[in-house]
Chain A
Amino acid sequence: MFCNFLSLPVLVFLPLVLAIFIMMPLCPKNDIFIRRFTKGGVIFHLIYSLLFWACYDKGFESLFSPYWIKSLGIRFGFAMDELSLVMTLLTTVVFSLAVIASKSQNRHNLKWYYVLILFFETAILGIFNAADIFSFFLFWELELIPAYFLIAHWGEGNSAKKSAIKFVLYTFVGSMFMLLGLLLLHYFNFLATGSMNGEIAAYDLTKVGVTLQLLVSFLLLIGFCVKLPVIPIHIWLPDAHTDAPTPVSMILAGVLLKTGAYAIIRFNFELLPEAFGFIAPLLAVIALVSIIYTAMVAYAQTDIKRIVAYSSISNMGLILLGICSLNAIGISGAIFHCVAHGLITCGLFMVCGIVYLRCKTRDINFLGGIAKSMPRFFAFATLIVLASIGVPLFAGFVGEVVTIIGAMSSEMSEIMKFVALFALPMLILSSCYMLKFLHRSFFAEEQECKPAFDITNHEFVVLAVTVVLLLLFGCYPASLMKIFETASVIGGSLPW
């Protein structure tokens, strides 16, 4: 019954409407009101997005799709399929958690902080649900604005402004290539089919030569890989994640990186499968280097937030490896790991944030013995760390194992088999740096930092939701896989 009331533009623009309401002069200027209003709004939005899951049948398409530039066939429309649905759910969950986590941060300029967060949510939902490549590109660029201000203005470190600039510059340069790729895609499609239509689903480049496909695929990949990120274009990530305030770090690592993975599946894999087949083995090797190298760098870090940031790159490498396998198992594993890793980093950054809030330092050399003074916090931290090193019964394990099975069973090329086998030591390396993180900050005797009280209620909610979701998806992965097991991405006809 309520299924008739679901509308994609509402889903995407609801946070923006909330943001505009907060900005309006008649909205109370009271900080507490704004905080509670945002929290309520975001949670309502989460429920609204869950309704999409409940009502999901064969995809949604928005009735509202006016022409933007009619002569070029560019529309402004939204569509949702299984992949978008999973990513949308992840986005709404992570944003709810981030808004709840915002309680203990950011005393200044609260109103604009929440406005930007809501704006951010609209931008990211726009990326995941765009039906047209140009609206996709619009949202892809729009997300930079809130991200820049959130990092630069509310950042924790001294170098926050510098990191924000770095982030924007890197992403922007990537986007330039991506825009060129999108334009070429549009043009080649016009040449091949003779009609101007910007709809993602309507592209058909099978008649275009492989060389041209390769060119487009390569240009797009540059843009997506900056977001993903893979080495050597990951340099913006550790700085941005470290200097951002805790909730923003949660959003960046939890959702923003996944836009890269989403875009690779959507464009490179779905639209240009033939060309991607050529690039995939090479990309898999880069992903492998990325996994191992960043895992080693993570071990040498002393700032706990940087350890988590590098572990993100390592895990994103694994997701890229899953996509490169080009088969149903690998792609499902990659999508599953997107969700699992989104939740895990959310929890890990929350842990880092709580530690920083209590101890005013993130250097493991000055931390220690938190377990003694914060036993409840310690329990959660242990669970989340175990989840992040791929212990069974947590979602991270399923993601990693299914992804690697997919990569191993790839019929693409012989390289994939070895890449997958060599990616397995990631499990050892990740346990090295994550256990270092846990032991140095929580175990042993107390150092200078002596937290006065255990976790507060809102921190409890964030950590508990993360752990419960991780356990749910880890013990019964079918609950999540059910959503996308019929997806065209997975069951679709592949050239191999």
Chain B
Amino acid sequence: MNEFFVDNIIWVVCYPLYVALLIGVARFFAVKMSNKLISVLTVTGSLIGLIFSLGMLPVAFSDTPVVETMFSFVKINSLNLQVGYAVDTLAAVCLCLLFFVSFIVQIFSLFYMKKEPKAYRFFAYLNLFNFGMAMFIVSPNLFQSYVAWEMIGVVSYLLIGFKYENISKSIASMRVFITNRVGDVAFLAGILSLVYIMLNYAPLRFVSLDYSDMNLISAMAYAHTNEATFLILCLLFCIGAFVKSAQFPTQKWLLDAMEAPTPVSALIHSATLVTAGVFITIRMLPLFTLSNTVMAIIAVFGLFTALFSSFCATTQVNVKKLLAYSTSANLGIVFALIGFGNVILATVYLLFHGILKAGLFLSYGFSNNEYEHRDAVIIPPLFVILVVVLSGLSFSGINLKENIFEVFEISPLFAVEILIVIFLAAFYMFRISCLYSGDKSLNTRFRIGVILWVFLSAILSGSIIKPPFVCALLGAIAGVVVARKQLKSDTEGCIRKLLMNGFYIDKLYSFTANFYKKLCCVAENIEFRMTSCKFLIVILKSFVKLAAWIEKYLFEFPIRLLSIGLRFASKEFDIVQTKNAQTYIAYGALIVGVIFTTILLTYSIVLNFLGGM
């Protein structure tokens, strides 16, 4: 029975694609599909996906990975890029996360998009995204991963620019796409470098990018490169993963991505797409573990991002942007865990965070629908409950944060850092909850209930005096206090401004963009000069002038001389024109006489000459 789920998973993966195509084609030929039909088709896809991925779990946990090849994408000599699917534990777990979150989000979108006339397009994109992400998760080799990776990037771009009439959304979507593109290119460069190494050094030019051969590939890459080159090779993959997962210094794109409708933020920019970077890092671990430097870089960058994004989040007043920073920070923790070699905890934390973050977005979006134009932001009770869990003040959250703390305990520096991150996480989450929860939405009874629940769960799990819980509690209290104070009197400090603008890291982007634009202008300037061909034209014209000069003074000269002579003669001889008949007759007689004499003379000379013969 379980094999049935694994064998047919590819149909489940491809089903959203069919739905997306169906919606697109039907719309194109102006066939009206009712929103109900579309939503039923869409939600069915996620539901079946969820059932299949849950059904797969027992197999995935027990057996060896199932790898199936379907067809050759590109096959030239020894280069054989294949398409297929593979299911192992990681893939099964991530599929569960994907289909679970997308199921909830799609149900939510039915309400959210009720008044949107272009809802069909939205659902088509969601389906396309599901296909891309599922394909990414089940892909058996690096190349197929890259294809799916790009595809989800494109769908995310299309969804951010969903309301393209809005100029800020359109610009944000473009920025997100181009920032992601940088990561994509780094990732592709990494893949191509691996291909290069295999084409040159592998026995029989055996080229494989399969994850199942990753140990072999890594060993080969390690053996045939020196240390620096190997580090660069790994870093190319890391850059790709960091950009996709919004790590320092690229977390800005995640903030831009918040221009997307809230369901999209819940599905793509918190639970699924941003985890692609983590996913690929776990897949590439056989390569990374060969070098301690790489693992250290991953860990340090992850922790630094966690700290940096947490600080940035502390002063945000926009809930979605705050959640984006929080996503970046939590993914930083995940990267740090991977860097410390604790992949299982990283995966678990990834799942935990993905589900909770999606829930946070949805509960926020449920009471703050962009399409209903509410002025005041409202924080619903569910949001607060999720905040309590995510901050590590209640079940599962407490234990997870404790486990994470234990991993980092080996070094006091890291331990302090992770405690600060936990403190800040609770701080900004509670601050924002308090800032926007008026007396109407959260009454006193609810508040007391939450407090009791926190202490009860802490006592039950026995971690009431452990550092993570204490930090989180302090953070929560500090958050509430600061929020109260802010509600009374709002002051603008320079540090606050700095944090608010994310340490002005986007100035770096605008500087790069302006620099590139200037460079383009310079290139255009050169091009303009080249296109107008001034240089060539000058040369050509001077040639033409030279030719004209030669023509004028060299070849025309004899003829000119003749004409000058004639003109001179005609001027000199015009005295003969006297307008007097007798003179003309005299001329005539003279001329006739001269001719006559000449002929006679010639004749006689010729005769004499002949006679002399």
16 contacts between A and B (CB under 8 A): A297-B523, A300-B523, A328-B77, A371-B165, A376-B28, A391-B154, A392-B148, A401-B188, A405-B195, A408-B192, A427-B185, A431-B181, A436-B174, A445-B165, A481-B74, A485-B76
Interface check B420, CB cutoff 8 A: no
Does the CB pair A409–B196 fall under 8 Å? yes
Contact partners of A478 in chain B: CB under 8 A: 71-75
CA distance A117 to B519 in the complex (A): 40
Q: Mark B65-79, 1 if CB is under 8 A from A, else 0.
A: 000000111111101
Interface check A356, CB cutoff 8 A: no
What's the minimum C-beta distance from B239 to chain A, rounded to whole angstroms?
A: 12
CA distance A430 to B150 in the complex (A): 15
Interface check B51, CB cutoff 8 A: no
What's the minimum C-beta distance from A402 to chain B, rounded to whole angstroms?
A: 6
Does the CB pair A329–B178 fall under 8 Å? no
Interface check A66, CB cutoff 8 A: no
Q: Which of B75, B151, B174, B192 has the most CB of A within 10 A?
A: B192
Does the CB pair A235–B530 fall under 8 Å? yes
Please give the number of chain B residues whose Cβ is less than 8 angstroms from any Cβ of chain A in the complex. Answer: 49
A425-B185, A444-B167 known, 18 other contacts, Cβ within 8 Å: A296-B519, A299-B520, A329-B76, A379-B28, A391-B150, A392-B147, A404-B192, A411-B200, A417-B196, A421-B192, A424-B188, A428-B182, A435-B174, A443-B165, A445-B167, A478-B71, A485-B75, A490-B76
Q: Which of A232, A296, A397, A398 has the most CB of B within 10 A?
A: A296
Residue of A nearest to B24 (CB): A379
Question: Which residues between 158 and 206 of chain B lie within 8 Å of chain A, taking CB atoms?
Answer: 158, 161, 164-165, 167, 170-171, 174, 177-178, 181-182, 184-185, 188-189, 192-193, 195-196, 199-200
What's the minimum C-beta distance from A158 to chain B, rounded to whole angstroms?
A: 15
Interface check B213, CB cutoff 8 A: no
Contact partners of B75 in chain A: CB under 8 A: 478, 481, 485
Interface check B556, CB cutoff 8 A: no
Contact partners of A428 in chain B: CB under 8 A: 178, 181-182, 185
Does the CB pair A393–B151 fall under 8 Å? yes
Contact partners of B73 in chain A: CB under 8 A: 398, 476-478
Interface check B521, CB cutoff 8 A: yes
CA distance A404 to B79 in the complex (A): 13
What's the minimum C-beta distance from A445 to chain B, rounded to whole angstroms?
A: 6
CA distance A392 to B75 in the complex (A): 17
Does the CB pair A402–B76 fall under 8 Å? yes
Contact partners of A432 in chain B: CB under 8 A: 178, 516
CA distance A296 to B24 in the complex (A): 34
Chain B contact residues: helix, strand, loop or mixed:
helix
CA distance A397 to B167 in the complex (A): 29
Cross-chain pair count, CB within 8 angstroms: 133
Interface check A420, CB cutoff 8 A: yes
Residue of A nearest to B523 (CB): A296
CA distance A483 to B72 in the complex (A): 15
Does the CB pair B79–A405 fall under 8 Å? yes
Does the CB pair A427–B184 fall under 8 Å? yes
Does the CB pair B531–A239 fall under 8 Å? yes
Interface check B524, CB cutoff 8 A: yes
Q: Mark A294-318, 1 if CB is under 8 A from B, else 0.
A: 0011011100000000000000000
CA distance A190 to B75 in the complex (A): 40
Contact partners of B530 in chain A: CB under 8 A: 232, 235
Binding site for B on A (CB under 8 A): 166, 232, 235, 238-239, 293, 296-297, 299-301, 328-329, 332, 369, 371-372, 376, 379, 382, 386, 391-393, 397-398, 401-402, 404-405, 408-409, 411, 417, 420-421, 424-425, 427-428, 431-432, 435-436, 439, 442-445, 476-478, 481, 485, 490-491
CA distance A254 to B193 in the complex (A): 32
What's the minimum C-beta distance from A474 to chain B, rounded to whole angstroms?
A: 10
Residue of B nearest to A407 (CB): B192
CA distance A409 to B167 in the complex (A): 44
Residue of A nearest to B146 (CB): A392
CA distance A476 to B196 in the complex (A): 24
Interface check B551, CB cutoff 8 A: no
Across the A-B interface, the 8 shortest Cβ-Cβ residue pairs: A300-B524, A392-B147, A409-B199, A443-B170, A296-B523, A300-B520, A299-B520, A443-B164
Does the CB pair A393–B165 fall under 8 Å? no
Interface check B539, CB cutoff 8 A: no
Contact partners of B77 in chain A: CB under 8 A: 328-329, 490-491
What's the minimum C-beta distance from A427 to chain B, rounded to whole angstroms?
A: 5
What's the minimum C-beta distance from A431 to chain B, rounded to whole angstroms?
A: 5
Contact partners of A329 in chain B: CB under 8 A: 76-77, 79
Interface check B527, CB cutoff 8 A: yes
Does the CB pair A372–B165 fall under 8 Å? yes
Interface check B601, CB cutoff 8 A: no
Does the CB pair B192–A444 fall under 8 Å? no
Interface check B460, CB cutoff 8 A: no
What's the minimum C-beta distance from A203 to chain B, rounded to whole angstroms?
A: 26
Does the CB pair A386–B154 fall under 8 Å? yes
Q: Which of B24, B148, B151, B184 has the most CB of A within 10 A?
A: B184
Interface check B533, CB cutoff 8 A: yes
CA distance A277 to B521 in the complex (A): 36
Whether A392 contacts B79 in the complex (CB less than 8 A), given A300-B521, A477-B73, comes out as no
Contact partners of A328 in chain B: CB under 8 A: 76-77
